[in-house]
Amino acid sequence: MNEAAADGRQRAISLGLTAHEYELIIERLGREPSEVELAMFSLLWSEHCSYKHSKLLLRTLPSEGPRLVLGPGENAGAVDVGGGLAVAFKVESHNHPSAVEPFQGAATGVGGILRDIFAVGARPIAILDSLRFGEPASERSRYLLDRAVAGIGHYGNSIGVPTVGGEIYFEAPYEHNCLINAMCVGLIETERLIRSAASGPGNLLVLFGAATGRDGIGGASVLASAELGEGDEAKRPSVQIGDPFAEKKLMECSLELLERGLLVALQDLGAAGLTSAACEMASRGGVGIDIDVACVPLREPGMEPFEIMVSESQERMLCVIEPSQLDAVVAVCEHWETAVAPIGEVTAGGIVRVLDGNRVLGEMAVSALVDDCPLYELQPQAPAQPLYAPPERVIASEDPGEALLALLASPNIADRRPLFEQYDSIVQSRTVRRPGQADAAVLALPPREGQTPGIAISIDGNGRRVAADPYRGTIEAVLECAANLACVGAEPLGLTNCLNFGNPEKPHVAWQLCESVRGLGDACRALAIPVVGGNVSLYNEGAEGPIYPTPVIGLVGELPDVHRAGRLGFRTEGDRIALVGDFAPDIRGSELARLGGTELPHALAEIHIARVAATHRAVRDAVRSGAIVSAHDIAEGGLATALAECCLAGGLGAEVVLEETVKPLRALFGEGPGGFLVTGGDAELRALGEHITLRILGSVGGNQLTIIAGEARVEVTLELLREAHGSLAALFD
């Protein structure tokens, strides 16, 4: 190998490519790549852009359904919600940038997912977030939490999109690698949906939005393709800088361009910037593209061509238009004070050329960049020994009253109000059920046929249980998310996911990922829910090992009348309380086991998905008919914790009696899918019990929660429950 070739290989390796991949690039080009070409290949062949370690797995997921409008491969998926409307939605991660610079990392994560939604023509109407940090005792975790939440609130509040739900967990394996997943939902008339495929040789390629700078060069695409470690502070320049007010103008500009029918195709600029946007548009359309970097508006003088092509500066969109529409496009952009410039054109032949005036800087086949990226089969192997150390012991007592208060005070269960109060959840006036009122967010759609239909949205996951059993833990995550929708009376229409895992090149992580995707696919097929798209975030680990495997599930469902949407809080003195479903609690892998310092089990209990799905349908129908007054699924902390949450949400106590006498802690605090707490009248509950397993436990009333389980007895006032449940507020003092 000559010196130039050796230098090229070393440069490729420094950009994240392997020596083998560099040889493949030379083979595809028939020569050594130029500086611009190498930069483009390094980003499009990165894990973040190419999914080279997960694409083969993702192809096994079900992606078809009767209500599906847009599926995987577009900026966002979409489902039909009737009345000529579609809901577009997607979840994505911004983990590595947020671990380096939490405020901007989280803020630009929100900005990026917003652009994915209006890139298909939908107006964003809701944001949800899924967050993971180390234990709250850690100063670093508290810092990341405070700044990430502030960044999410800053961006969403500024642009005027409500944050209507989410979840947060604190576990030691996330100490050095926090997870920041953001989900966005948008609404559009179905016939106005636009795709990102470029078409029409001779059509213009137009860039509009913010000017291009050096911020974010090698950001998400590089940070998300390697493990974090020492020297992360030096990576701060790779984190993008967001401007929500610029994004607001960009969003309104994009939606007006689409409403006027001025665009052929539209694509947002995220990871890998112009390189990814242009090449993916060309690939989806089966065409080529010429880009002249001399025409790109720059924020900083003297930028190199490769910097322009890979910059991840925020608040930018790329569109394809017919030449005759240029003046009209420019006029709309000027109205919204948004910079605009034609930077190239669509060509025939499937070649991407990068020009600087008349000088050709790069010339590559689209297929080589996008479609022929090397894909790797994983080499999964179940770990021979535990991957994660047992958690620190927090509670030693087996007194059920003390255990209940400890669970309510646990950061994984405590009241999330200190977070959600930083977010505007009611802007746009569509929010019917906001955080804390129900198990899922509910948004109203335009009235029709004398009713106000709506959509319900939920996001969920539990990395600890997936770490114990990647297959069953992932099924549980899907079922939990679907249960949240059932509690408000909604039927799931489509699923999006964000798969957060460690280094897939390690056999034990590959095994976690393979088993989790298998569980995701089996759950979706059993529930007849299509996967409309999502995101994969790998290499989430540091020197101490990988994060818990964390598949985050986002579901969108529909309900016929938002005025009958369920609530979780007890409503009326004297209402009867029932346990619905074939609920088989297991203390292993539970939140109580975590507080007790117990190591993870080797497997979770078998799940009968069909039975759980039948329970979901029964609860959903009962909520819709008004047969039950409140509904809450049993999740972290088990039955006793769910009872306490219902009491606190409604401001009413309860008295219940359980049949369990041998193992009261398991009955009170064990976890598993399929259980719901519902309230209503005796006759209504008994009628429901004719179709599904149901046990009446007691009644609503008073100012304390009383639970009798054999010889075990819990008696705690609402005041003490509320005090314990409010522990999270101390993290924001």
Express as a percent the part of the chain with pLDDT over 70: 96
Check residue 298 and report its DSSP letter: B
Averaged pLDDT, 496-503: 97
Listed residues 373, 401, 423: the one ending a domain: 373
* Region 224-249 average pLDDT: 65
- How many Cα neighbours within 13 Å face the side chain of 295? 19
The total number of structural domains in the chain stands at: 2
For all residues of the chain together, what is the average pLDDT? Answer: 93
CATH number at 717 reads 3.90.650.10
What is the average pLDDT across 495-517?
97
Asked if residue 228 has pLDDT above 50, the reply is no
Contact of 240 with 104, CB cutoff 8 Å: yes
Catalytic residues: 48, 94
Residue 397 counted as domain residue: no
The distance of Cα 535 from the centroid of its chain, to the nearest Å, equals 8
Put residue 302 in one of left, alpha, beta given phi > 0 → left and psi -120 to 50 → alpha: left
Last residue of a domain, one of 336, 356, 373: 373
Inform me whether the pLDDT recorded for 234 exceeds 70.
no
Q: Are strands 550-559 and 454-460 parallel, antiparallel or unpaired?
A: antiparallel
Q: For residue 722, count CB atoms less than 10 angstroms from its CB and return exposed for 0-12, middle for 13-18, buried for 19 or more.
A: middle
pLDDT at position 227: 52
Write down the H helix ranges in 412-569: 417-420, 463-468, 470-487, 507-527
* Rg, C-alpha atoms of the chain: 26
Strands (E) across 227-380 are located at: 265-268, 288-292, 316-321, 340-347, 351-356, 359-365
Task: Tell whether 691 is covered by a domain.
Answer: yes
In a domain, 693, yes or no: yes
**Confidence check: pLDDT of 218 > 50:** yes
Residue type, 617: R
What's the average model confidence in pLDDT over 271-300?
Answer: 95
Number of C-beta neighbours around residue 600 at 10 A: 22
425: Cα within 13 Å, side-chain hemisphere: 21
Looking at the DSSP assignment, which residues form a beta bridge with residue 265?
320
Single-letter amino acid, residue 525: R
Nearest-5° angle of CA 524, CA 529, CA 531?
80
Residue 107 has pLDDT above 60, yes or no: yes
Instruction: For residue 385, give every residue at least 6 positions away whose Cβ sits within 8 Å of its Cβ, in sequence order, or none.
Output: none
Q: What mean pLDDT is predicted for residues 703-730?
A: 94
- Residue 339, exposed/middle/buried by CB under 10 A (0-12, 13-18, 19+)? middle
Q: How distant, in Å, are the alpha carbons of 18, 151, 573 from that of 25?
A: 11, 39, 71
Percent of the chain with pLDDT over 90: 88
Taking 3-state DSSP, the helix, strand and coil percentages for the chain, each rounded to the nearest 5, stand at 40, 25, 35
> Which residue, chain included where needed, has tokens 């949450």?
645
d(C-alpha 38, C-alpha 418), whole Å: 47
Q: What digits encode the pLDDT tens for the residues 566-613?
A: 999 999 999 999 999 999 999 999 999 999 999 999 999 999 999 999
How far apart CA 72 and CA 165 sit, in angstroms, is 24
Helix boundaries (H) for 169-312: 220-223, 244-259, 273-285, 305-310
Give me 288's structure tokens: 């080529």
Residue-level pLDDT at 224: 44
Phi, psi of 57 (to 5 degrees): -70, -45
Q: What is the pLDDT of residue 542?
A: 84
Domain boundary residue among 343, 373, 403? 373
Rounded Cα gap, residues 477 and 460, in angstroms: 6
Q: Who's near 30: CB < 8 A, 6+ residues apart?
A: none
Residue 442 lies in a domain: no
Q: Which amino acid is at 507?
A: P
Concatenating the DSSP letter of every residue in 706-717 gives: EEEETTEEEEEE
Asked whether residue 689 is assigned to any structural domain, the reply reads: yes
Q: Collapsing DSSP states into helix, strand and coil, what is residue 622?
A: helix
Q: Of 664, 675, 674, 673, whose CA–CA distance to 708 is shortest?
A: 664
**pLDDT one-digit tens code per residue, 350-375:** 999 999 999 999 999 999 999 999 99
Domain presence at residue 315: yes
The whole-number pLDDT of residue 662 equals 67
Q: Between these two residues, 495 and 15, which has the higher pLDDT value?
A: 495
Identify whether 717 is part of a domain.
yes
Residue 348 and residue 287: Cα distance in Å, rounded? 5
Give the pLDDT of residue 570. 98
Domain residues for the domain of 331 are: 33-62+194-373
Lookup: tokens for 686: 């008994």
- How many Å apart are CA 43 and CA 208, to the nearest integer? 22
